[in-house]
Amino acid sequence: MKKLILFTAVVLASSMTLYAQKTDQEIIEFAQTASTKQLLKKNTDLLMDGRYRMSIVVADKLIESSPGNSNFLYRKGYALSQQSINYEEAINLLEKVKDNTTLKYNASSDKETQAPIDALYHLASCYHHQGDIEEAKKYYQLYIDKAPKKAALRGFSELALMQCKKTEVATDKSSSVQIRNIGESINTEAPEYSPAVSLDGSALYFTSRRLWEDSSNAEYIDPRTDTYLEDIYVSYKDFDGAWETPIRLENSQPNQNEATISVSSDERKLYTYNDLTGNGDIYYSDFQNGRFNDLQKFDMEGVNTDSWEPHISVTPDGNTIYFVSDRKEGMGGRDIYRITKLPDGSWSEPYNLGAPINSAYDEDAPFIAVDNKTLYFASNNENSIGGFDIFVSVCDDMGVWSAPINMGTPINSTGDDLYYTTTSDGRFAYITSFRADGKGEKDIYEIEDNYFGRKNSALLKGLITVVGGESLPEDVNITVKCLNCGETNIRTVYPRTSNNTYMSNLDKCREYEMVYAYNDGETVFHTDKIKTKCDDEYEEIYKPVLLRLEDWTIIPALDYELAGTITDTDSGEPLEGVLIEILDKDGNVVEKMMTDKDGNYSSDILKGKEYGDNPELSLRVSKNGYVTYENPLNTNDLGNESTVLKNIGLNKLDLGKDIGNMLAVNTIYFDLDKWNIRDSEKPKLDKIVKVMNENPTLEIELGAHTDCRASKAYNQSLSNKRAKSSAEYIKSRISKPARVKYKGYGETKLVNNCECEGKQESSCSEEQHQLNRRTEFKITKL
């Protein structure tokens, strides 16, 4: 069956004709003066090479010379249909030639004015991708009716017609499944595809053909796609669940293709596709010394051959490998194969999964879930609704695969949908697709799934936190051994270097021993035991530990207590009767208490929290006549001591005191020669607003000061305007605005000897001048 290369590199990077802008310019210049015969040959060559964008440039010149020529219109329409970016324009052109096709099409003749019968197939395909199923069916059938029995596209057309009919009965899971474009933080106008998500969903590895930040890959263009070569990127989720700006991996080369396939559960091994050898093979890169190493060819016997091997998926325990190959002994096109680790540590021969997984069509992009028995894969078989669709199958205890289920809409579309990868619980998944809401030619989509979520499986999640924030040595590992599995069942996992977390899938109703070691497993520093539940639900077991590296000791879990003393900042005396309020992340008060006669307080609200947790709580401390203190408790507060000590000094509100000093609001910055409040400075003034609203009788004078530079008159005028602007901002946000007076002092109240006399320049440093450019908020009435 014809090899349809969809989402991977087409040609060898080492032999690829990489060209700069001048090559395009040469074709453009050629098209201006070439004869029709020369243009026709050039257009044919470009189409045969897959250089569709430049073929359109030549086709436009042909159409210009003969606007109604169906041969010329077809050539442009065909090129557009192959680019997957403008089906609408392709349809417009192919519609013009559909009634003027011939079975005797002569592609090399400049006298040919008709289009080939293939135009009907490509018109149907465009309608199919657009989701216009009725029009697609009409033209697929018309092509079948008119084309010779042995026509190259007959089989594809018959398959596509079956797929169109499947759309009528496709399962719609939109009530339990949501799919959305992952957004511009990852997707660009360039193609992005082949995602591989970490089990916990915090890291996403993917392939992109974008321009590098420094444009150093600008000269390396794939002539078949007119895009930059493939590179591997990774993006991490921030604390709010948003994807951060992607980082290109260090082993990406500007003049070679590197494409993601999958990532190991500990993110220590990245599997990639590369076409430097064979007909395209599987490669890998190990994470060592803080980076991914250069790509190495995957050398397991029986996997890479002279055939095409574009994909691989390794089970989280590392004992089973699924890969794709189009080797001639397969069932048809690309098939999914499996190899397993034998009891003696060797690997089995590759085994074709056979029916019902493989078919006479193409199967690709397998992904095995953490339960080691749920297989997601892509197929363009007769049960697809268009191109490749995502299917799911489950292997029973006897090793028999269930009939694959098309995951339905909205996961699948009438275009190609591939590279399904999911988190450990199956709730979030990612695929590659080309859709109307896309940013570029291919995009990555996120799926939130309440339908296909994991059941009857367990996952061990661990965290090794190092005392003092030191880096965890890369050779630390955890061996997980099943004690009641009936046979040797041992796996070794490594913590992720980015955050020291690790994961391993577990069987239900089993007992395991965990052995923590370093020095390549030779030195054991901790052991533990865990059990999984004997039910059919998804289960997660979380095992955090605190490691002291100086003696390789695991510190027991701590029972945290929040405590402290509240004092007067000026006198240092403890304050009795201070109100302590603990607020949740939404600002609701969840606990309140008063300090005793010694200014002390304590709370057990952190009980049950573990080292490294984010409490998502805030502390608010208030007393009449003092500035209220409010600050969040964060992950760093849950350290090596059981008592989270929060000693706090409160600033007393007294006449003549500067509230700005208390709140570290000493300078309000303005643009040069301006006095309107910058957005960046508003949070500073908001602190003053808060104090004024908490103390409704408080009155202040806002004074704006400058340094000595510039004339006295200028400084006086500018400081007046800035003082007024700042005061008006505060007044508009408090009760009884008359409580705020303001005055510009210019350079009349310097706090040091940085004076400027006439034309004489001050010898003061910029830092010394800065002390004079200040804003004061002095209390004038309590």
- Mean pLDDT over 458-479 rounds to 87
Residue 23 lies in a domain: no
153 and 259 in a single domain? The answer is: no
602 and 581 in a single domain? The answer is: yes
- Mean pLDDT over 347-370 rounds to 94
Per-residue confidence (pLDDT) for residue 351, from 0 to 100: 94
348 and 210 in a single domain? The answer is: yes
- 356/350 Cα distance (integer angstroms): 17
- 303/350 Cα distance (integer angstroms): 7
- The two structure tokens encoding residue 490: 């041992």
Q: Which of 553, 573, 608 is the last residue of a domain?
A: 553
Pick the closest to residue 55 from 18, 28, 19, 32 (CA basis): 28
Residue 667 lies in a domain: yes
Q: Residue 125 contacts by C-beta under 8 Å, 6 or more apart in sequence?
A: 81, 136, 160
Residue 29 lies in a domain: no
Pick the closest to residue 379 from 368, 367, 391 (CA basis): 391
Per-residue confidence (pLDDT) for residue 10, from 0 to 100: 31
Q: Confidence class of residue 494 from pLDDT cuts 50, 70 and 90?
A: confident
CATH code of residue 134 = 1.25.40.10
Per-residue confidence (pLDDT) for residue 1, from 0 to 100: 29
Q: How many CB atoms lie within 10 A of CB 763?
A: 8
Residue 15 lies in a domain: no
pLDDT digits (tens, 9 = 90+) for 95-122: 999 999 999 999 989 999 999 999 999 9
- 578/594 Cα distance (integer angstroms): 5
Residue 19 lies in a domain: no
- 714/484 Cα distance (integer angstroms): 85
CATH code of residue 611 = 2.60.40.10
Q: Which of 553, 570, 598 is the last residue of a domain?
A: 553
Per-residue confidence (pLDDT) for residue 758, from 0 to 100: 66
Q: How many CB atoms lie within 10 A of CB 663?
A: 16
Asked which of 357-361, 530-534, 752-756 is least confident by mean pLDDT, the reply is 752-756
- Mean pLDDT over 578-593 rounds to 94
* Whether the predicted pLDDT of 11 surpasses 80: no
Per-residue confidence (pLDDT) for residue 508, from 0 to 100: 86
Strand partners, 543: 462
pLDDT above 70 covers what percent of the chain? 95
Asked which of 15-29, 231-245, 724-738 is least confident by mean pLDDT, the reply is 15-29
Per-residue confidence (pLDDT) for residue 666, from 0 to 100: 79
Residue with tokens 């890479």, as numbered in its chain? 304
Per-residue confidence (pLDDT) for residue 367, from 0 to 100: 96
Q: Residue 177 contacts by C-beta under 8 Å, 6 or more apart in sequence?
A: 408, 410, 411, 447, 448, 449, 450, 451, 452
Per-residue confidence (pLDDT) for residue 223, from 0 to 100: 76
Q: Confidence class of residue 9 from pLDDT cuts 50, 70 and 90?
A: very low
- Mean pLDDT over 173-196 rounds to 90
703 and 575 in a single domain? The answer is: no
Asked which of 251-255, 454-458, 497-501, 539-543 is least confident by mean pLDDT, the reply is 454-458
- Mean pLDDT over 342-356 rounds to 91
Number of domains in the chain: 5
* Whether the predicted pLDDT of 197 surpasses 80: yes
- 315/505 Cα distance (integer angstroms): 9
- Mean pLDDT over 481-499 rounds to 81
Per-residue confidence (pLDDT) for residue 672, from 0 to 100: 64
- Mean pLDDT over 315-333 rounds to 91
Residue 7 lies in a domain: no
| Strand-strand pairing, 561-568 and 579-583 | unpaired
Q: What is the dihedral of CA 756, 758, 759, 765, to 10 degrees?
A: 0
* Whether the predicted pLDDT of 753 surpasses 60: yes
Per-residue confidence (pLDDT) for residue 452, from 0 to 100: 60
Residue 12 lies in a domain: no
* Whether the predicted pLDDT of 15 surpasses 60: no
Q: Residue 706 contacts by C-beta under 8 Å, 6 or more apart in sequence?
A: 715, 718, 719, 745, 746, 747, 772, 773
Q: Residue 17 contacts by C-beta under 8 Å, 6 or more apart in sequence?
A: 223
529 and 407 in a single domain? The answer is: no
- 101/70 Cα distance (integer angstroms): 8
199 and 148 in a single domain? The answer is: no
pLDDT digits (tens, 9 = 90+) for 270-284: 999 988 887 889 999
The parent domain of residue 482 ranges over 458-553
H-helix or E-strand containing 21? helix 21-33
482 and 595 in a single domain? The answer is: no
CATH code of residue 763 = 3.30.1330.60
Q: Are 363 and 389 in contact (CB under 8 A)?
A: no
Per-residue confidence (pLDDT) for residue 623, from 0 to 100: 93
Q: Exposed, middle or buried: residue 1 (CB in 10 Å: 0-12, 13-18, 19+)?
A: middle
382 and 283 in a single domain? The answer is: yes
Average pLDDT across the chain, whole number: 88
pLDDT digits (tens, 9 = 90+) for 56-85: 999 999 999 999 999 999 999 999 998 877
Q: Confidence class of residue 308 from pLDDT cuts 50, 70 and 90?
A: very high
Q: How far is CA 771 from CA 11, 76, 685, 716, 762, in A?
A: 65, 70, 19, 17, 14
546 and 692 in a single domain? The answer is: no
pLDDT digits (tens, 9 = 90+) for 645-678: 999 999 999 999 999 989 888 788 877 678 888 8
56 and 148 in a single domain? The answer is: yes
* Top mean-pLDDT range of 13-27, 359-373, 550-564: 359-373
430 and 465 in a single domain? The answer is: no
Per-residue confidence (pLDDT) for residue 16, from 0 to 100: 40
* Whether the predicted pLDDT of 744 surpasses 50: yes
* Whether the predicted pLDDT of 394 surpasses 70: yes
Pick the closest to residue 529 from 540, 521, 541, 546 (CA basis): 541
pLDDT digits (tens, 9 = 90+) for 246-271: 999 988 889 888 899 999 888 888 99
Q: Which of 449, 484, 501 is the last residue of a domain?
A: 449
250 and 204 in a single domain? The answer is: yes
Residue 47 lies in a domain: yes
- 247/208 Cα distance (integer angstroms): 11
Q: Are 490 and 318 in contact (CB under 8 A)?
A: no
Pick the closest to residue 231 from 214, 213, 254 (CA basis): 254
Q: Exposed, middle or buried: residue 767 (CB in 10 Å: 0-12, 13-18, 19+)?
A: exposed
